[in-house]
Structure 1
């Protein structure tokens, strides 16, 4: 279709609703039109019966000219929308009485559902499974309004609907509508080989493209994943009094762990990734020059994504070759040393508060003054604790003070997802996701197959051979517990009773 040719606009009647001004791109098959209706009505394409075109019911692969598509025409759709999950009733329901797609024959439905491979789509499936582990992301998509003529909104709507089906289903879900929307928004994922089969794609490109598209639909994406960095760069050609520097502030949805022969651990690769040379215009020299510097984190997100930069373009074979080097990663990542001085100061008190809460749980609660002095915090208690009653007041102030850190970030991140690759090229091989569940259990999602895994099996995904190795890491921010004040107070009371017990025994 030429760029100046007007796309036909139709109206669709479904039940008591009339959806007007739906633009149809006739360069795409009717399956895409059905996906548009799915995003508007919630009726899956396989249940849609669309009448009003020539030849009877509209088929997924029908020719638009043959069915007589016209601008301004009105058609009718029949079909039942997906229902919102309802609270269970008292009546007992047997598995065999449920629809086949809702039967949990493996007992794994509490961990979500697998995704069917629709032809070299493991890169997409593994990406979706990792992002499904972020409940705030799923919640943010609930408010997205579907638009039949906006690919980004259609993709966000399809993601929302897919997440709902994954939560509800007892068996693997075919992500058909989501795949159609993804390829419509990003045609590079629609590439086919000489035989007409869809080609394997890079999971990192899919992850980045998806988050970028969703970010345009809801501001929550940047709030959830955005890492704010500040880099101070200095011109290499100028020194002494003539030194020229510039500050660059950026927000990245993904950090990079660069891999060289000297990198053995995630922290070393991250440090390398924060260094960078950039070519900028020097005002002093009046021309482009190389600026060098190191970026630091100035604001931390609730979730952190790290790419293990394992692939590079190899010109002689014209494909992305893989770096097999073993690079270990932790279950708990500490980013404190990568932060600006201001952020470090901001994190010190919550870090000590978290430690005090953890110590309190095992009866090792420490003096509150240690936290105050480390954070350079002035308490509101100015009267010396010279009596037993004043000491009690001081204890109350201690609890009130620590309560302000409830929910505060500590700068540490817990690993909750790993997207791995097995093979020698990013555009071939196989992608799999490993996701930590709310109960601490790790589950491997290999397309439609779900496998329980142990923590040591996840840590073994560090590379060094032809086995699955980590390509993308998803971390969740460690926070001070919301009940931190109650935890510390309870420990203090328990400690006081323990001290009073011997005294009472001695006076009897």
Structure 2
């Protein structure tokens, strides 16, 4: 660590620390928070030249306490006119953010697009933001390590900054806590932080939050990660050679879409992902044998995460290679076919109510027929009765509110451009409440059309879906 003094215009900022293990762009984000001068506008004079984003600190010969000069203009908010129309740029910053309809971008702190895209996609889940909001600085529960606690606090604070600012946010503290909790994200090559796999970042962050937000420190009404993202699977494990069969249960936070020459659509890839082969010792045969595991969903989450398994380890190049095959995915995903018989039975009534509700939108009267079969709460209705009623009444009498239907709507896509997971570029695409899509390319958000989102299915060198996030349609 070095401590320097920065002179900017008529102001002097003493005692600013430089972490020489991180690229200069990180130092520039620190100055941005102090001065309001965006990193791309900053000109910091060192050794008669200008500090570049990728300069090696060791080549500059900086000394502790040295004074540096910065040139650059800060973003200024124009005062609102007293009369006449009021434009977005004339509003206070917090009102501008609301008027724009989307949150701020995130500065790339040196190959951190994998992290930025992950944060933007998860930031689209309001229940997660509510859970984080209720998590206090002193809320560390039993069994939660300090690194997990501080990463959760950093996530909460970063989400808060995204909601309150129209200027790009520098997630420096979050990055530091992420690397402290998971050192693999601090890997360097030639003194430069390496690009990382966005799926690994997503998985580790969700796992950490599942440990902290479900602890006693979290408000019970905040919404737990298991309810939001957890998927319960029940599996049948069978060995054709020995005839052995067993069942297994597990809880995961994402479904895998396996890609092969037979897979052209997400539905097919999910089907492949739920049926796998494994090799293990057979007690009856006394040696290893091939087993088939067929899994079914036994409990669904409010938000369904789907990962496209596009990367595999290529021994020849000693890196993760990418499958470029085009795999289409829908705006509306129905996972009913992948559910266990038990779950299918629970979904039947809410699915019927949803279909009736959609019919009612067109002014059609809905014929609701009840039977002696149990509804999803286990209660029985009178046999043989039928009546015509308004769909709202049907919904109230058939099932409780907020029941899952097995149908999901796409709300976020994390894409990758390039040939390797540890290189290239990651971007988050997020659907807003008003239906429009925003492409979050680091610090540069831009509006996109829905048809552009469906073109991110692969088949070339353009951005292609790596993770899709779907929101449950409930009744």
TM-score, scaled relative to structure 1: 0.69
* Counterpart contact for 2:117–2:427, Cα < 8 Å: yes
Q: Give unmatched runs, 5+ long, in structure 2.
A: 1-18, 23-31, 36-56, 58-63, 65-84, 215-223
Aligned partner of 2:6 in structure 1 is: none
Call closer, same or farther: CA 1:190–1:396 in 2, change over 3 Å. closer
Aligned partner of 1:168 in structure 2 is: 164
Aligned partner of 2:67 in structure 1 is: none
Q: Note the C-alpha offset of 1:140.
A: 1.2
Partners of 2:439 and 2:297 lie apart in 1 by 31
Residue by residue over 1:48-95, the C-alpha shift from the partner in whole angstroms, topping out at 9 and shown as x without a partner, is xxxxxxxxxxxxx9xxxxx9xxxxxxxxxxxxxxxxxxxxxxxx9998
Residue by residue over 1:331-353, the C-alpha shift from the partner in whole angstroms, topping out at 9 and shown as x without a partner, is 00010000111111111111110
Aligned partner of 2:111 in structure 1 is: 120
Aligned partner of 1:192 in structure 2 is: 188
* Counterpart contact for 1:103–1:171, Cα < 8 Å: no
Partners of 2:356 and 2:335 lie apart in 1 by 20
Partners of 2:413 and 2:461 lie apart in 1 by 17
Residue by residue over 1:265-317, the C-alpha shift from the partner in whole angstroms, topping out at 9 and shown as x without a partner, is 00000000001122334332344432213100011000011111111111111
SS in 1 for 2:369: helix
What aligned pairs does 1:334-373 form with structure 2 within 5 A after superposition?
Answer: 334-369=334-369
Q: Note the C-alpha offset of 1:360.
A: 1.2
Aligned partner of 2:300 in structure 1 is: 300
Partners of 1:302 and 1:327 lie apart in 2 by 24
Partners of 1:103 and 1:192 lie apart in 2 by 40
Partners of 2:186 and 2:99 lie apart in 1 by 32
Aligned partner of 2:441 in structure 1 is: 446
Call closer, same or farther: CA 1:396–1:343 in 2, change over 3 Å. closer
- Choose which of 219, 228, 231 in structure 2 pairs with 1:227: 231
Partners of 2:357 and 2:238 lie apart in 1 by 43
Partners of 2:282 and 2:206 lie apart in 1 by 34
Partners of 2:472 and 2:459 lie apart in 1 by 28
Aligned partner of 2:148 in structure 1 is: 152
Does 2:284 align with 1:284?
Answer: yes
Partners of 1:459 and 1:188 lie apart in 2 by 33
Residue by residue over 1:380-415, the C-alpha shift from the partner in whole angstroms, topping out at 9 and shown as x without a partner, is 558989xxxxx79x8899647645242211101100
SS in 1 for 2:426: strand
Does 2:265 align with 1:265?
Answer: yes
- Choose which of 209, 213, 227 in structure 2 pairs with 1:214: 209
Name the structure where helix makes up a greater proportion of residues.
1
Partners of 1:139 and 1:252 lie apart in 2 by 22
Call closer, same or farther: CA 1:46–1:29 in 2, change over 3 Å. farther
* Counterpart contact for 1:414–1:475, Cα < 8 Å: yes
Call closer, same or farther: CA 1:185–1:93 in 2, change over 3 Å. farther
Call closer, same or farther: CA 1:290–1:30 in 2, change over 3 Å. closer
Call closer, same or farther: CA 1:95–1:347 in 2, change over 3 Å. closer
Call closer, same or farther: CA 1:318–1:382 in 2, change over 3 Å. closer
The root-mean-square deviation of aligned C-alpha atoms, in Å, is 3.5
Aligned partner of 2:404 in structure 1 is: 409
Q: Note the C-alpha offset of 1:371.
A: 8.3
TM superposition outliers: structure 1 runs of 4+ over 6 Å? 28-31, 44-47, 92-99, 370-379, 382-385, 394-398
* Counterpart contact for 1:183–1:190, Cα < 8 Å: yes
Aligned partner of 2:197 in structure 1 is: 202
What aligned pairs does 1:43-192 form with structure 2 within 5 A after superposition?
Answer: 104=96, 109-146=100-137, 150-192=146-188
SS in 1 for 2:420: coil
Partners of 2:91 and 2:385 lie apart in 1 by 69
- Choose which of 399, 412, 419 in structure 2 pairs with 1:424: 419
Partners of 2:264 and 2:361 lie apart in 1 by 35
Name the structure where strand makes up a greater proportion of residues.
2
TM-score, scaled relative to structure 2: 0.74
* Counterpart contact for 1:352–1:371, Cα < 8 Å: no
Aligned partner of 1:456 in structure 2 is: 451
SS in 2 for 1:272: helix
Partners of 1:411 and 1:383 lie apart in 2 by 27
* Counterpart contact for 1:232–1:246, Cα < 8 Å: yes
SS in 1 for 2:366: coil
Q: Note the C-alpha offset of 1:132.
A: 0.2
SS in 2 for 1:368: strand
Q: Note the C-alpha offset of 1:471.
A: 0.4
Partners of 2:455 and 2:89 lie apart in 1 by 39
SS in 2 for 1:170: coil
Partners of 1:172 and 1:424 lie apart in 2 by 28
Q: Note the C-alpha offset of 1:146.
A: 3.3
Residue by residue over 1:158-182, the C-alpha shift from the partner in whole angstroms, topping out at 9 and shown as x without a partner, is 0000101100001111001100100
Residue by residue over 1:423-444, the C-alpha shift from the partner in whole angstroms, topping out at 9 and shown as x without a partner, is 1111111100110111111111
What aligned pairs does 1:385-396 form with structure 2 within 5 A after superposition?
Answer: none
